[in-house]
Chains A and B, each alone.
Chain A
Amino acid sequence: MKIAVLVKEVPDAAVEKRIDASGRLDRSGEKNLNPYDTHAIEAAVQLKEGGTIPVEEIVAITAGPAGAERALHKAVSLGADRSVLLSDDAVAGSDVIATGYALAKLLERESPDLVLLGQQSDDGENYTIGAVVGEFLGYPSLTQVVKLDIAGETITAERQAEYGYDTVEIDLPAVISVGDAINEPRYPSLKAIMGAKKKPLEKITIADAGIEADKVGAAGSKIECGNFTEPPKKSGGTIIEDEDTSATVEQIVAWLDERKLI
């Protein structure tokens, strides 16, 4: 079986996110592999190591600027066997549908049995790309999967739902976005770090992948962004000066009671 893991390079969690002059996310600061994707890589590695089903290959795939190579090196250091980077200026500014289309075209070249991805990106936070990719490929897709068993051609998945867990059975090939509760990703080993650049990394253009230029990038995106405003400042809260402790306690209890919190 071949597993493809969709990954993304995102601004590092420590970087304050800002919109640049062109109306896109400012990506000039420190960047990292989307932390949610590390759970998808770990899930793939665990399937490979688990041995219940033979996994021949794990391929990490991304669409992004040339610098996204570093995110792929990290993905490989965490257990992917090789990686594919779609790096083409035409893709910049793609919305979720356009990105999903481009990724689906990349996946068609690989024809994996299973596509895994993280529950969300740490920058866009759409939570939807897996479903979009599944739709383009005609594969069933599941979100928020926290337990994954594969027997033959059938996946039994447990997914986090609003009021508990759903157990769902679907057939391969499928697109599964995993919740971050599915596993605790391992740390990269020294050997994997030093060997990451020796693993194949294929850089391709939209032409290589058969991606139609007018379906990606700003031109291929229906979502338009604008009229950005700063998020509202948090109010300062209420400060109760503690002059008489029993009076203070009464005030706090009254405040909580008023809001039906106790």
Chain B
Amino acid sequence: MSATTDTTISLPLVPSDEELAIRTAVRDIVEGFGADYARRCYEAGEPPSAMWKALAEQGFVGINVPEEWGGGGLGMWGLQLVGEELAAAGGATLMLVVSSAMSGSILPRHGTDAQKERWLRGVAAGTTKLAFAITEPDAGTNSHNLRTELRRDGDRYLLRGQKTYISGVEDAEGILVVSRLRHDDGTLGKPTLAIIDVDGPGFSRDEIPMPYLGPDKQWTLYFDDVVVEADRLLGGEEAGLGVLFDALNPERIIAAALANGMARRAIDQATKYANEREVWGQPIGAHQSVAHPLAEAKVEMEMTRLMTQKAAVLFDAGSPLAGEASNMAKYAAAKAAVHAVDAGIQAHGGNGFALEYGMSDMWWPARLMRTAPVSEQMVLNHVAQHSLGLPKSY
């Protein structure tokens, strides 16, 4: 089943009372754990479970899931509000990307009722967390080169291969793995999606050491003939790219929302600092060399927030324009976040690096968004070819 385009859905430019109340509630919940909560989780090597639970209990991590499956029914438009506020309050977690945005979007559109009952209800309630695995060591951004394969074995399947840079596996109950069916003639089919249990027989994983990217960890995964029952396939044996992008577009939208929130946090904090800090007899914000980079970051962030909201509304409407908008939002939001965090660190002088001020903790998470979930270069390739009609470059 594919979503149909609903032309009655529009982008609200003036926030409603409900939107403001959702934003405030999410911010209040996250701020209640303290500004350094995510770093404390990272240092303890623990997932941000208490914050996730508090958000989940009030219905915010499943805000996008249809109401009939226990969600809030507000689609990706609702989830980007949550993502932005989460990041703006310093609580950005990639679990919101992989579980809420990706599984919470693909399951309603392509899952069977039994799969929705088994997985989607939990994703909506935040009690089930699903990671997502597509990237491979030898395929990188070339998803046509994926080599993780699924072989038929009677009425079930065996999964074999390797994935890398997979987020949040340590806190997930299952993983939505992208593989390809090995045909009888030895060729590999279109992308297949299957939900596997974490830490079942034949599955192993290694943590990839990373700088502070937030509370979540990154993993390399190994599948050594992991048994996959037929009812674990999402969208059939060869779901294909069309199905896959009902997870990848939400991933880009919510990555953009997190980047927007990080930019907001950096700008807000740096503005406060520049208003208070005096070294030449007046606040340093009076100097245009401090003020202008922050003002520029603000302009960029407001534009990318608008594009992110547009992408979310288009995705929710089932519009074919959602792909282009999601890519553009992610591209622009990542750049804007890096500019904002850079300007924020610079405005803080040496304090920009001290952990106490939290500015440097925004650097790698913001920088990550230029590379993941899809690199800037791949977005530009896509825009050049599909939006502009230039020759295919890859």
Q: Does A126 contact B (CB under 8 A)?
A: no
A163 at the interface (CB under 8 A from B): no
- For residues 190 through 205 of chain A, which have their beta carbon under 8 Å from a beta carbon of chain B? 190-191, 193-194, 196-197
Q: Closest approach, in angstroms, between the C-beta of A35 and any C-beta of chain B? A: 11
**Residue from the set B18, B22, B28 with the largest chain A CB neighbour count within 10 Å:** B18
List the 10 shortest-distance A-B pairs measured between CB atoms, nearest first.
A190-B59, A189-B58, A193-B21, A190-B72, A187-B25, A189-B59, A187-B29, A188-B25, A191-B59, A187-B58
Q: Name the one of B21, B57, B72, B74 contacting A77, with C-beta atoms under 8 angstroms.
A: B21
Q: Interface code A22-56, partner B: CB below 8 Å = 1, 0 otherwise?
A: 00000000000000000000000000000000000
What are 28 sample pairs from A and B whose C-beta atoms fall under 8 A apart?
A73-B17, A73-B21, A74-B21, A77-B21, A187-B54, A187-B58, A188-B21, A188-B25, A188-B58, A189-B58, A189-B59, A190-B22, A190-B58, A190-B59, A190-B60, A190-B63, A190-B72, A190-B74, A191-B59, A191-B72, A193-B18, A193-B21, A193-B22, A193-B25, A194-B18, A196-B18, A197-B17, A197-B18
Minimum Cβ distance to chain B for residue A13 (Å): 12
A64-93 interface with B by 8 A CB criterion = 70, 73-74, 77
> Given the complex of chains A and B, what is the CA–CA distance between A74 and B63 in angstroms?
19
Could you tell me the distance between the alpha carbons of A172 and B336 in the complex, rounded to whole angstroms?
Answer: 59
How distant is the Cα of A191 from the Cα of B54 in the complex, in angstroms?
14
Q: Shortest CB–CB separation between residue A10 and chain B, in angstroms?
A: 15
In the bound complex, CA of A73 to CA of B54 (Å): 22
Query: Among A70, A187, A197, which residue has the most Cβ atoms of chain B within 10 A?
Result: A187
Nearest-neighbour CB distance to chain A for B145, whole angstroms, equals 41
Q: Which of B25, B57, B60 has the most CB of A within 10 A?
A: B25
Q: Interface residue count for A (Cβ, 8 Å)?
A: 13
- Interface class of chain A by DSSP: helix
Report the bound CA distance from A187 to B57 in whole Å. 10
Count of interface residues, chain B, beta-carbon cutoff 8 Å: 15
Interface string of B38-71 (1 = CB under 8 A from A): 0000000000000000100111100100000000
Given contacts A190-B72, A194-B18, 10 further A-B contacts (CB under 8 A): A187-B25, A187-B54, A187-B58, A188-B21, A188-B58, A189-B58, A191-B59, A193-B18, A193-B21, A196-B18
How far does the alpha carbon of A109 sit from the alpha carbon of B17 in the complex, in Å? Answer: 29
Residues of A within 8 A of B17 (CB): 70, 73, 197
- Chain B residues with Cβ under 8 A from A70's Cβ? 17
Give Cα distance in the complex from A70 to B18, angstroms: 10
Q: B21: shortest Cβ distance to chain A, in Å?
A: 4
* Closest A residue to B19 using CB positions: A193
Question: Which B residues are in CB contact (< 8 Å) with A193?
Answer: 18, 21-22, 25
Min distance, Cβ A219 to any Cβ of chain B, angstroms: 33
Q: B285-312 CB contact bits vs A (8 Å, 1 = yes)?
A: 0000000000000000000000000000
Smallest CB–CB gap between A74 and chain B, Å? 7
- If A187-B25, A187-B28, A187-B29 touch, whether A194 touches B58 (CB-CB below 8 Å) is no
Q: Which chain A positions have C-beta within 8 A of B74?
A: 190
Interface residues of B in 63-89 (CB under 8 A from A): 63, 72, 74
Q: Kindly identify, within residues 149 to 193 of chain A, every residue whose CB is under 8 Å from any CB belonging to chain B.
A: 187-191, 193
**CA–CA, A189 and B61, complex, Å:** 11
Name which of B17, B22, B54, B72 has the most chain A CB atoms within 10 A of its CB: B17
- Which residues on the B side are within 8 Å of A187 (C-beta)? 25, 28-29, 54, 58
Residue of B nearest to A186 (CB): B58
**Interface set, chain A 218-254, CB cutoff 8 A to B:** none
* Beta-carbon nearest neighbor of A188 in chain B: B25
What's the Cα separation between A193 and B58 when bound, in Å? 10
Contacts of B54 on A, CB cut-off 8 Å?
Answer: 187
